[in-house]
Amino acid sequence: MKDYRDMVVLVTGANRGLGRAFVDALVERGTGKIYAAARNPQEFGLPGVTSVRLDVTDRAQVAEVAHSASDVTMVINNAGVHLRSSVFDDDCVDVVDGVLNTNLLGSLAVSAAFAPLLIANGGGVIANMLSAGSWLAGPGNLAYAVSKAAALSLTNNLRAELGPRGVQVTAIHAGFIDTDMMAAFPGPKLDPRAVADEALTQIAAGSQEVLVDEMSQKAKAAAALPVPRFGS
């Protein structure tokens, strides 16, 4: 069982929503040091929290943060965007490209920059905030679903490379979370703090896959079913 009091954690997309919930949950656990990273960082005024400017799509900025935060032992790749898109939209390729740049390549850039540091610091954790959408497809959800499915593959490949080097790589999946990103979606939503607490608890126990809710559990199970014949 990992003790957060001994850890130095970087959270991306930390200024609001789920990212802010991760920061608050880490503070409550007495985490040794927290880097709260965001494109437009805010001063948290919380013990042990250092605000950091970071746009995960800016490679130079990622390298700069990795240099200045070389003591990190855990990375939470939380930064993400959601834009509705359909194959019938004239700009669908551009929209998917933009979402992939943040949700996939941003996580890859941060992971690649910090992986050597985690290994040098004795091993550590990379936790990628994914989604039930990693397995779900539907009209209007092209960009987000593609990005999260690709990010799941990224997570699996990172685990294969980094696990033997002492780095735990955890995929976190959840359904609709009550954040600004999901404000337009009707129906019940998960409390961001509850998601953060569950993820951190399972990560500390060594889990490399966290299925926070029933939607995630059912989405993964459904993905293993045979693809139906066309027209059935």
Q: What is the CATH number of domain 4-223?
A: 3.40.50.720
Of 135, 156, 23, 123, nearest in space to 79 by CA? 23
Q: Would you list the domain boundaries of the chain?
A: 4-223
Instruction: With beta carbons less than 8 A apart as the criterion, state whether 129 and 172 touch.
Output: yes
pLDDT of residue 170: 98
pLDDT-based confidence at 180, cuts 50/70/90? confident
Residue 232 reports pLDDT greater than 90: no
Of 148, 145, 113, nearest in space to 130 by CA? 148
144 flagged as catalytic: yes
Residue 152 reports pLDDT greater than 80: yes
Catalytic-role residue among 4, 44, 114, 144: 144
Q: How far apart are CA 165 and CA 120, in angstroms?
A: 10
Of 211, 107, 220, nearest in space to 157 by CA? 107
pLDDT-based confidence at 100, cuts 50/70/90? very high
Helix (H) or strand (E) holding 220, with range, is helix 214-223
pLDDT-based confidence at 52, cuts 50/70/90? very high
Q: Coil, strand or helix: which one is 10? A: strand
β-bridge mates for residue 141, sequence order: 85
